[in-house]
Amino acid sequence: MIYILIPTFNRYQLLIRLLENVLDQSCELIIVLVDESTDKLPRKLKEIISQNRIHHLNIGDNNFFWNGCVNLGVNYVIRNFDIDRSDSILLLNDDLVIGENFFKILRKYRNKFGDNTAFGSVVYNAKGDDIIDGGVRVNKWLAKISNKAQNNDKEIHVDVLSGRGVCYPMRIIQQVGSFNFPSIKQSGDWEYSARVKKHGFDLICIRELKVYLDYQETFYINTTKKLLIRDFKNIFFNEKSCYNLKSRYYIAKALTINKLQLGIYLFFDIIRISSRFL
């Protein structure tokens, strides 16, 4: 069984599109994690939930963020279903559209890799053919980052995986443990996948496993814009920012093996981010 977790907050039209997209290809169990306290769901969304294998959980009031939603979703699966080692957790964001034959391809690689590999999708811009995220390799001293999907390999070995279309076998989750919440609110996908690799599991990005993203500039999450000096406080200290210093520390800790390497990596990581102000 593949348990599909979809964290969301107040983006119901995008969520409806994704659910319809997934239901066209799969009868797997879907868990929608809504980080707000309202029950005022659109009628169409209520109909989709009631007519399909979808569990809808209202879990907060915009205070669980991505990491907290995923944690609660994983715990919900473990508590409420009979889990065996063939099961997996699939993470999807609400602003995605999955590619053709997505679940057929996912099952093929799940069977090929077994329990020892987490694998992710290549993320394409929905408005073009450019790759947004295809698995990342990280220099664990100098904090240099390279997107490996630009090569032609079908299976791309990486150091971290995005949360947009990543599959974790239950054995990995049971061994590595929870996502790091509340220490990290947003952008916990890098930190968790780095811990997965540190535990000795492989991380692979699959070129033919495609998702498409309606790429928008959000609140300092994967932004392509130049950073502005007036936004310094928000960039480094707001919990919604992927450049939040606390988050960067935990990502660095997951990637490195000792305090010396951690300090050097974190120094160069902050320098790299700060260069975006120039």
- With contact defined as beta carbons under 8 Å apart, do 240 and 220 qualify? yes
Q: Locate all alpha helices (DSSP H) within 81-211, ordered by sequence.
A: 102-113, 170-176, 188-198
Residue type, 243: Y
Q: Residue 248 sits in a domain of what CATH number? A: 3.90.550.10
Q: What is the pLDDT of residues 221-254, one digit of tens each?
A: 555 567 778 888 888 998 888 889 999 999 999 9
Q: What is the pLDDT of residues 167-217, one digit of tens each?
A: 999 999 999 999 999 889 888 999 999 999 999 999 999 999 999 997 664
Structure tokens at 216: 């928008």
Q: How far apart are CA 152 and CA 148, in angstroms?
A: 9
- With contact defined as beta carbons under 8 Å apart, do 99 and 140 qualify? no
Query: How many structural domains are present in the chain?
Result: 1
Q: What is the pLDDT of residues 12-60, one digit of tens each?
A: 889 999 999 999 998 789 999 887 755 567 888 889 988 888 998 887 7
Structure tokens at 93: 């964001």
Domain of residue 99 covers 2-277
Phi, psi of 157 (to 5 degrees): -80, 130
